[in-house]
Amino acid sequence: MARIQRMGEAYSSGDVVVSVAGMFDVNPSSVEYGYSYTHEYQRGIRRDPRAWRMGAKEFEGSITLPLDVVAEFEKIAPRGDIAKIRPFPINVVFFNAENEMIRDLVVAKFQGNKRSVTTDGELENQFDLFILDIQLNIR
């Protein structure tokens, strides 16, 4: 059961389905994604802000996957390096607080690989994503 954080708003729902690169329902512990725009002032002669303008869109995201799912990605990755896998779709489907079905599409790739095995029994890792596109609430 995934914990979804979408554009800064947290959802906890039992009906979350996350598919990564065609692997249906990979059961991540968490998925976080979003974007923001850089903003800057347009200044006048007196150096006071007169107006504003928006800059480029900045994406950010991460996914926490069980190590057995990561092992499947390593099998298809060049020399086992999942960062070398080409960008892939991540489909996130869940119900919001108003019981409406939300479908998001994130096109991303892994930025690296790592291992973390602890004594608490959780065999999972959080992976930073290099995101190329986010489409929220697609129909």
Q: How far apart are CA 13 and CA 139, in angstroms?
A: 20
| pLDDT at residue 15, as a whole number | 65
Residue 70, token pair as written in the block = 């990561």
d(CA 116, CA 67) in angstroms, rounded, equals: 9
pLDDT for residue 8: 66
Tell me, what's the pLDDT at 73? 93
Cα 71 to Cα 91: distance, rounded to the nearest angstrom? 20
Q: What is the pLDDT of residue 3?
A: 59
Instruction: Report mean pLDDT in 10-residue bins for the chain, 139 residues.
Output: 62 73 86 91 88 92 91 93 95 83 94 79 87 93
- H helices present in the chain, as ranges: 67-76
pLDDT of residue 59: 96
Residue 76 identity (one-letter amino acid)? I
Q: Within the chain, how many helices (H) and strands (E) appear?
A: 1, 8
Q: What is the dihedral of CA 68, 61, 117, 79, to 10 degrees?
A: 60
Place of tokens 């389905």: 17
Cα torsion angle, 24, 26, 30, 34, sign = negative
pLDDT at 1 (0 to 100): 45
Write down the residue that tokens 């996957």 correspond to.
65
Q: How do 9-12 and 3-6 pair as beta strands?
A: antiparallel
CA 36 to chain centre: 14
